Amino acid sequence: MNGYVIALDQGTTSSRAIIFDREGSIVAQAQYPFEQHYPQPGWVEHDPMDILNTQIHALGAAFERSGLAAADIVGIGITNQRETAIVWDRQTGQPVYNAIVWQCRRTAPIVQRLVDDGLADQIRRTTGLVPDPYFSGTKIKWILDNVPGARARAEQGQLLFGTVDSWLIWNLTGKHVTDYANASRTMLFDIGALRWDEDLCRALDVPMTVLPAAMPNAIEFGRVKRGIPGLEQLEGIPVCGAAGDQQAALLGQGCIRPGQAKNTYGTGCFTLMNVGPSAPRSENGLLTSVAWQVGGKTAYAVEGSVFNAGSSIQWLRDELGLIATAHECDELAETVPDAGGAYLVSAFTGLGAPWWDPYARGALVGVTRGTGKAHICRAVLEGIAYQVADLLGLMESDGGYKMDVLRVDGGASVSDFLMQFQADVLQRPIDRPASVETTAMGAAFLAGMSAGLWTDLSQVQQLRRTERRFEPRMAPEEAGRLLEGWHRAVERAKGWAAE
């Protein structure tokens, strides 16, 4: 069967559309950035209309550039920044407030009340998550509590909630749905029963009428409706695959067997390990989520998150002005043999797994009079690798599997320096694919399986090709010494913003 699949990759800083052929090769793509909003320290917002308009623009542009006919497209898959919460009017489609982004920490007091009320264990048992502002549930409550009239409208059935996948699907097809992978990141979803949990919705004052229908990941959610400007030719094309960006990347990396793991180096760092059909609860502050459900079979993943990775490099460029381009960070880092004892803990919006400290803040420690911008650049890159190494050690313990190799993707994975240092401190090989667009490929694969372009999960293994493998060069003792210094630095950053 010939055919093409369009993947919509809606990320934290840009919206992209990529068209893949049956061999997994890219035919055409388009990408458009959008504005970030920081109304207060620790707060992060997007305009939902910016998200929608840039994504529709990218979809139309990629299709036009491809030279394909609509009949060539078998389906559209969606992958998205997860946990970001949007609430909109059921009739007008207008958002009642900006999207509260996954990075936003404003709901820390709500989370603390949940913990004080003794709900932490219930949240962990039911959702596989830990109480944290990261997830969508407390964001919904904040919007309903703080936007005048929103709670009354929600209780009257006038408002809808969705993560970004839901927002896009609703605008493209008119259907109010989500997939199991995205639903499992809300802190409201029972990952064993695969349904919304009434008790947790009640605890967070979230009316269940605002929630989308949760569905498997490779299924027809709806079809592109008539009258969307710029998408007239794509009317009737099925939207038939969806997963949060990190689950999509796990699939796009071919991690279909338990024990296989990947790390995505994007705005944040996200490390996932496939743990198969069981859903273990972490003893180390990691998360368990639905990876995907395909053909009635559910796979779960253990996950750890680093909130600021690529965004740390952007901070060097945009806020400090130490570099002009991201690549310059690599070039400077390689001009010095080490970071000179400096460590950068990029806790700009708190610390994720395994610390889960929303009050942590960024810290640059170990600075001397001889510390230069090359050392700081190196400390930024090394800090990313240290956090990933911490996560994987805990992940192997929780999942019960030993990882032989770490597969990598995302923007910062193009850095040879970072990948080599990651192999060194991890003491495991790093496998970088020929195409780093694995997140989009995962979404394309889900849609293509639903549409019959591919038949089963094993085919993704054949589509993935290795570009380079990085072997550890550092002595284990040296790696251990560096990680010990890193952990001392983390202690300095914890609890900084606590009142």
**pLDDT tens-digit profile of 211-225?**
999 999 999 999 999
What does the CA dihedral 248, 249, 253, 256 come to, rounded to 10 degrees? Answer: -40
pLDDT at residue 499 in the model: 56
Query: Residue 446: in which H helix or E strand, if any?
Result: helix 438-451
Domains 4-245 and 254-433+465-499 share a fold: yes
- How confident is the model over 460-494, as pLDDT tens digits? 778 888 999 999 999 999 999 999 999 999 999 99
Burial bucket for residue 91 (CB in 10 Å: 0-12, 13-18, 19+): exposed
pTM: 0.85
What are the DSSP E strand ranges found in 186-286? Answer: 189-190, 195-196, 213-215, 222-223, 238-244, 261-265, 269-276
- pLDDT recorded at residue 350: 87
Q: Which residues pair with 298 in a beta bridge?
A: 293
CATH architecture of 4-245: 2-Layer Sandwich (3.30)
* More confident of the two residues 358 and 156: 156
CA 379/CA 364 separation, integer angstroms = 9
Closest among 446, 408, 434 to 6, alpha carbons compared: 446
Between strands 363-365 and 343-345, the pairing is: antiparallel
The third-level CATH classification (topology) of the domain covering 254-433+465-499 is: Nucleotidyltransferase; domain 5 (3.30.420)
Extents of the domains making up the chain: 4-245, 254-433+465-499
CB atoms within 10 A of CB 471: 10
Four-CA torsion 76, 82, 84, 89, nearest 10 degrees: 30
Max CA separation in the chain (angstroms): 64
- Hey, what's the torsion of the CAs at 80, 81, 82, 87, to 10 degrees? -90
Tens digit of each residue's pLDDT (9 = 90 or more) over 113-148: 999 999 999 999 999 999 989 899 999 999 999 999
